[in-house]
Structure 1
Amino acid sequence: MSSWKDNLRTIDPYVPGEQPQLSDMIKLNTNENPYPPSPKARDVLTNFALDTLRLYPDPDSSLLVNAIAKRYEVGADQVFVGVGSDDVLAIAFMTFFNSKKPILFPDITYSFYDVWATLFNIPFERPALDDDFNLVAADYYKENGGVVIANPNAPTGIVQNESFLRDVIEHNRDVVVIIDEAYVDFCGESALYLTKEYDNVLIVQTFSKSRSMAGMRIGYAMGNPELINAMNDVRFSYNSYPMTRLSVALGVAAIEDEDYFQATKNQIIETREWTKRELKALGFTFGDSKTNFIFAKHSTVDAEVIFDKLREKHIFVRHFSGERIRNYLRISIGTMAEMEKFIDELKKIV
C-alpha cells in the first residue's frame, strides 16, 4: 500500500457552474455578463505587442493598480489586484484569519468561503440567514476571528443596508471585516466609503461581472494601506507575478471606459427588472435581487423539474442542492433576446 497517500490533503472542492459547449445554448448559470468587454479593451487586444510576453510582467501591476485607484479616488497603496476576486479573497483569508477563533459568514452565501476556510485550516461558523434570506446582525456580535459578508449576497441577490454594515463593523473592530462586492455595480453604492472610517474593512470587487471580463480573471481589493501591504507580503511569498501583461493592459482599458461600463450595466438592470415582472406573472417568488441574477422558486413546480426541462432546450440555469435552497433556481440575466426566449420556454413548463 502506498504510504504517500496518508499525507494527502483531502477536501471537498468548490464546484463551479457548468460550462457547456453548445452553439445554440442560452447560458444563464454562471452570472457572466452577456455583453462583450469594452471596445477599448478590444483595441488593446488587437494592437497588443505579442513579443512582450517573453518578458515577466510588472510584479506590482502598477498600471492596473493606478487605474483602479484613479477610478475610485483612493491611493495606489490602498489597492490590491489578483487573478480574479477568488484569488484576492483566498489571499485575504490567508493573511487575516490566523487566530484560533472561528470566522463568521452566512449559511447561505458564496460557497467558496467554507472551502478556503477548510483548506487553510481556519475554524468557521455559519450563522443562518433569516426566513427572508437576510443576515441577522446580532449573530455577528460574538467573539470571532473575522467576518465575511457578500453584499449583495450570492446566491440570494439580497443587499444589506448601510446601518446593518455599520452595526456589524462596530461590533467587530478587532478583526478584519471583508465585504465581498462582486455584484455591487448592479445595486448602487459600494461600501468603499467605510474604509475611510474603519481601518479593519476590506472591500473586494471583480472585473468578471459588470466589466465583462470573467475570462481574464481580474479581481481587486481596497482598504487601508496596512491591510493591502500585508496582503502583498503574502502574495509575493508564493507568486511574484500573478497578473499577466495582457490582463493588466485589458483591465486598464476596461476600467477607463466609464461610458461603456455604465451603458451595459444599465441594460442588464433594465433586463433584470423586466424579467422579475415576467417571473412574478408566471408564479415565481423571489427577493428583490440587486445583482445580475434572480434567485427564484415556483409556487407549484419543483425547481429540479424546471432545471431539467430547460436544460433539454439548451437553456442553462443554476440549481443548488442545499437543504434550504434546493427548490430555488439562480437565473443569470442575459440579453433581452435571451431572456425573452427563456420566459417563452418557462411558459411551456409552468
Structure 2
Amino acid sequence: MSFLDSQFQHLVPYVPGEQTRTKVIKLNTNENPYDPPQNVIEAAKEAAKTLSRYSDPTCLQVIQPLAKHFNVAPENIFLGNGSDEVLFFLFQGFMEKGVQFPDITYGFYEVYSDLFHLKTEIISLKEDLSIDLAEYTGEATVIIANPNAPTGLMIAPEVICTFAKNNPQRLIIVDEAYSDFSEASLVPYLEAHPNILVVGTFSKSRHLAGARLGYAVGSKQLIEDLNKLKFSHNPYSVNAMTLACGEASLQAQDYVDECTQKIIATRNWTQQELQKLGFETTNSQTNFVFCQHPTVAGETIFKQLKEKNILVRWFNNPRIANYLRISIGTPEEMATLIQAIKEIEGVDI
C-alpha cells in the first residue's frame, strides 16, 4: 500500500547515469577524469574537523571568491547543493506563467516541471539538433542548457542577449554546466540583461561532482528571491566540507584551467578518431562527444562497449536513439575506447 500523495503517484523520476564500483572505464556521467587539486583534498580534511557544527548558511567563503572570479558583486551570487538544487528552486518559484524548454535537453527540466505541475511547453530541436529561440514565444520562463546536453551544441551569447532584450518581461535561465569547455559564457552580459540568470556547477570543470556545489549568477533581486526559497527550505544545504572544497578550487584556478584544456584537446582528438571510423559527431562544446554511426545502432555499440567494461550513455529516445553520449576521460581511456569501437562488427576501420 502506498502512502504517497496522489498528486505525485504519476512522477517519472530522473534516471542518472549508471554508477559502479567495479573496475570500468567510466565515460557515462560527464565527470572530470582528473583528481581534484591537492589543496582541495587538504581543505576537505581540515573541514572534517568542524563537522560537529553547522555549516555557514551565508556561504561567503565561496560566494566572495566566486564573485571575484566572475567580476560581479557577492550579492549577484547564489549557492546551492549542486546546480540541481538551484534548478529545483527556480522551477518551484519562478515559473508562475509556465516554462518552455527543448525536447532534447537535461532530463531534470521535465521532472521538475511535472513535480510542480507547471504549464509546460516542450519545443522540438531543429533537424540539426540546434535550438531556435524564435520558436519560444509567449510569456513563459525559458530555460536552456548552453551548451546543450546531450547534443553538445551551443547558442552564441549575442543571440540569447537579443532574445532577452526583445522579451524583457520574461525570465531567461541559461544552464551553463558545461560552459568552461565552450567558447563563451553569458555572465559578462548579465548587467545589461537583468532578466537573464546563469546557473553553473562545480561538478564538471572543477572536479567536485561528489561534493555537490552549484551556483546562480544574476541580478540582486533574482538572488534575493532564490535565497528566500532556500532559507524557507534548508539554510544549511551546502555542507562545511563542500564549502571548503569550493573555496580551495577557486584558489587553484591554474590547475582547473590546465585540466580543462586537456579535456578540450582530448575531446577534439576523440571526435576526429570517431569521424575516421565513420561516425557523425556534433560540434561539441562540452566535456563529452555526441555521435552516431550510419550503419551500427547506438544501442548495439552501447551494449558491446559495456561487455568490454566501458560505460557510455545511450538514451532510449526515438529522436536520438542512434546516438551515444561519450564523456571525455584521460587520453589513455579514450584510446582504449577507440580501439574497442574498432573491434565492434560493422564499424569501418
- TM-score, with length taken from structure 2: 0.96
Q: Distance in 2 between matches of 1:304 and 1:324?
A: 13
Query: Which amino acid counterpart does residue 13 of structure 1 have in structure 2?
Result: P
Secondary structure in 2 matching 1:35 = coil
Residue matched to 1:270: 265
Q: In the TM superposition, what is the alpha-carbon distance from 1:95 to its structure 2 partner?
A: 2.2
Indicate if the aligned counterparts of 2:291 and 2:323 stay in contact, CA closer than 8 A: yes
- Structure 1 51/274 Cα, relative in aligned 2: closer, same or farther at 3 Å? closer
Q: Evaluate the alpha carbon distance shift between residue 77 and residue 138 of structure 1 in structure 2; reply closer, same or farther with a 3 A threshold.
A: same
Distance 1:14 1:315 in 2: 22
**Per-residue displacement from partner, 1:59-106 (whole Å, max 9, x unpaired)?**
11111111211111111100000011111111122221123xx31111
3-state SS of 1:126 partner? strand
2:13 and 2:139 map into 1 onto residues whose CA distance is 25
The correspondence of residues 80-229 of structure 1 with structure 2, limited to 5 A, is 80-99=78-97, 102-140=98-136, 142-229=137-224
Query: What are the Cα deviations for residues 235-277 of structure 1, in whole angstroms up to 9, with x where unaligned?
Result: 1001121111110011000012111011000000010011011
Aligned to 1:235: 230
1:322 aligns with 2:317: yes
Give the superposition deviation at 1:39. 1.6
- Given that 2:47 and 2:244 are in contact with CA atoms closer than 8 Å, whether structure 1 keeps it comes out as no
> How is 1:300-311 mapped onto 2 (pairs within 5 angstroms)?
300-311=295-306
8 A Cα contact 1:84 1:218, kept in partner:
yes
Q: Is the 8 A contact 1:103 1:125 kept in 2?
A: yes
Give the unaligned 5+ runs of structure 2. none
Which secondary structure does the structure 2 equivalent of 1:18 belong to?
A: coil
Q: Tell me if structure 2 keeps the 8 A contact 1:71–1:256.
A: no
Paired AA for residue 331 in structure 2: M
Cα distance in structure 2, aligned partners of 1:344 and 1:149: 35
Conserved in 1, the CA contact under 8 Å of 2:157 and 2:184? no
SS in 2 for 1:105: strand
1:32 aligns with 2:31: yes
CA distance in 2, matches of 1:14, 1:213: 21
Asked if the contact 2:37–2:255 (Cα under 8 Å) also holds between the matched residues in 1, the reply is yes
Q: 1:66 to 1:303 in 2, by over 3 A?
A: same
Alignment counterpart, residue 77 of structure 2, candidates 76, 79, 91: 79
- Aligned residue for 1:294? 289
2:336 aligns with 341
Q: How many Å apart are 1:145 and its aligned residue?
A: 1.9
- Displacement after TM superposition at 1:45 (Å): 2.5
Q: For residues 123-161 of structure 1, what are the alpha-carbon distances to aligned partners after superposition, in whole Å with 9 as ceiling and x for unaligned? A: 111111111111112101x21320001000000000111
User: What residue is the counterpart of 2:63 in the other structure?
Assistant: 65
Equivalent positions of 1:245-260 (< 5 A) are 245-260=240-255
Deviation at 1:49, TM superposition (A): 4.7
Amino acid at match of 1:135: I
Listed one character per residue, the Cα deviations across residues 163-198 of structure 1 (whole Å, up to 9, x for unaligned) are 321232123211211000000000132111221111
Moved over 2 A (4+): 2-8
**TM-score (norm. length: structure 1):** 0.95
Q: Are the structure 2 counterparts of residues 231 and 22 from structure 1 closer, same or farther at C-alpha, using a change threshold of 3 Å?
A: same
Find the aligned partners of 2:327 and 2:47 in 1 and give their Cα distance. 35
1:162 is displaced (CA, Å) by 2.5
Number of aligned residue pairs: 344
Contact residue 110 and residue 154 of structure 1 kept, 8 A = yes
Distance 1:32 1:50, change over 3 A: closer
CA contact (8 A) 1:104 1:144 kept: no
Matched AA of 2:12: D
Match of 2:18 in 1: 18
User: Which residue of the other structure, out of 44, 47, 50, is the alignment partner of 2:48?
Assistant: 50
